[in-house]
Structure 1
Amino acid sequence: MQSDIFINDIGSGIECTATKFVDDTELCGAVDVLEGRDAIQRDLDRLERWACANLMKYKAKGKVLHLGGGNLQYQYRWGDEGIESSPVEKNSGILVDEKLDMTQQCTLAAHKIDCIQSCIKSSMASRSRRILPL
């Protein structure tokens, strides 16, 4: 038996930016004033009500990434459960940290390149410059 769930209306009434992926929804907004913080919490509450109305049991598996030096680091909640903060999150395969520093991303990319290079080297029968001029 197959059941289909349509989520086109998941973002209706949302004040902030909601991005829908295949199996994920992302909510983001500017919190330069208290109204921005409250808007994000209202949107989280709307998403939770939508999940309950559609008999979907969502758990706050996501984390909050606070950006900016003057960020008040507000504690958001999903229902009665607080949402954990994180100093770094992966988004579309890219690590984003609270300072928008790319060091961790570059380190991971360099490590991956080293692993691939090592694999290629170990699979070569000969590394003679006549055979493989690099």
Structure 2
Amino acid sequence: MSRWKAGVFAVLLACNAVLGIDVLTREEGPRGPPARIALQSTDDGRQVRLRRGQEVTVALPALSASGYRCGLRDPLPGLLSLEQVPPRVGGTPGWIFRTLQPGRGVLRFECRQELSDGPMREFQFHLQID
């Protein structure tokens, strides 16, 4: 590597370390917690890559007036921490999770009309936590 290239590389690394600007991958801004990922019914079956400590919200179609409810089927203990459960009436709809450690799993929910033998709808989100 020429002296010029080595010098430029050293400056880039210094910017990365001192300023918190990753000029090598073009990511700007402070290295704080990763952004929250929002999932909804249209993301059913989606593969989602997450980082440790990242928040994940899941909003599914639950209509309290009609009795249509969604429930968490598999909370993935060890991989996710359940931070918030949606209230039955009012409040912020959806579940909030925080990733705990690296691993893979499928976050599953089931939705159905209460007091009905009608069909159940399942939603799945395939998670990869790095």
Q: What is the TM-score when the length of structure 1 is the normalising length? A: 0.29
**Greater share of strand residues, 1 or 2?**
2
Q: Which has the larger radius of gyration?
A: 1
Q: What is the TM-score when the length of structure 2 is the normalising length? A: 0.29
